[in-house]
């Protein structure tokens, strides 16, 4: 009797092992050891060309999200110069993009964002569809930073939003399924190196084989 139970138990373990191997074979989830930190909500902003930029612009893409303002004389020039270096490495990959959100929509007009794009990557229209400089209402921009990208304390609410100000050097890395997979200090060389490595990993993940599709989950993982 014990021998039969042992045989049945061993068979069950083998069966489960084979099942999970086949489930994950053909994708890189077992290879890419990046946590899922959050899920990005739907959004709609205005880009530097006056066009609408929403989640469909980055469907199936790996992208970096950050916050800045065009008149910043402090951390923004350095962090965006570092981000431009990242952009140079991946600008020819059709599955990569950047979304830079203004922290000061009350002053960062579309012409100012367009001029800022020229400083970062030039005005080649080929790259305008890869690095978006976006504006919108302050509450929607700040909500994305807090509740989607985790670039500001999510306990900060949108009451009296006109008195709030986000000024952060951190970047969020989002995968092809609109999941936040990492937060990086845009002023630290080792963090930038890690960001580059993680982008390369996520670019290898298949876009259409996400068995953990975030549409089946709430915005807060766990």
- Among 94, 59, 84, 54, smallest CA distance to 171 is for 84
User: Is 214 annotated as contributing to ligand binding?
Assistant: no
Q: How far apart are CA 196 and CA 18, in angstroms?
A: 34
User: Is 164 annotated as contributing to ligand binding?
Assistant: no
Residue 191: phi, psi to the nearest 5? -70, -40
Q: How far is CA 104 from the centre of its chain?
A: 21
User: Is 76 annotated as contributing to ligand binding?
Assistant: yes
Q: Interior CA angle at 17 toward 25 and 203, to 5°?
A: 25
Residue 126 class from Cβ within 10 Å (0-12 exposed, 13-18 middle, 19+ buried)? exposed
Q: Which residues pair with 182 in a beta bridge?
A: 173
Task: Kindly give the residue spans of alpha helices, DSSP state H, lying in the chain.
Answer: 2-24, 75-90, 110-121, 125-128, 138-143, 189-203
Q: How far apart are CA 121 and CA 85, in angstroms?
A: 10
- Among 17, 20, 46, smallest CA distance to 132 is for 46
Q: Which residues pair with 170 in a beta bridge?
A: 185
Binding region:
72, 76, 167
Binding region for Cu cation:
72, 76, 167
């Amino acid at each position: 009797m014990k021998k039969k139970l042992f045989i049945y138990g061993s068979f069950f373990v083998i069966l489960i092992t084979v099942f999970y191997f086949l489930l994950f074979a053909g994708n890189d989830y077992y290879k890419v050891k990046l946590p899922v930190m959050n899920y990005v909500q739907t959004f709609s902003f205005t880009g530097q060309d006056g066009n609408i930029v929403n989640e469909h612009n980055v469907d199936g893409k790996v992208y970096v999200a950050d916050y800045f303002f065009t008149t910043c004389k402090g951390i923004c020039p350095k962090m965006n110069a570092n981000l431009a270096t990242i952009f140079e490495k991946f600008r020819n990959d059709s599955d990569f993009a950047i979304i830079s959100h203004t922290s000061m929509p009350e002053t960062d007009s579309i012409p100012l964002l367009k001029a800022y794009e020229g400083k970062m990557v030039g005005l080649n229209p080929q790259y305008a569809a890869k690095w978006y400089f976006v504006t919108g209402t302050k509450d929607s921009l700040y909500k994305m930073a807090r509740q989607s990208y985790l670039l500001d304390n999510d306990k900060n609410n949108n009451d009296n939003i006109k008195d709030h100000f986000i000024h952060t050097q951190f970047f969020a890395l989002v995968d092809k399924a609109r999941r936040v997979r990492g937060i990086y200090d845009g002023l630290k060389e080792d963090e930038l190196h890690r960001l580059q490595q993680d982008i390369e990993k996520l670019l290898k993940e298949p876009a259409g084989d996400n068995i953990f599709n975030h549409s089946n989950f709430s915005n807060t993982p766990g």
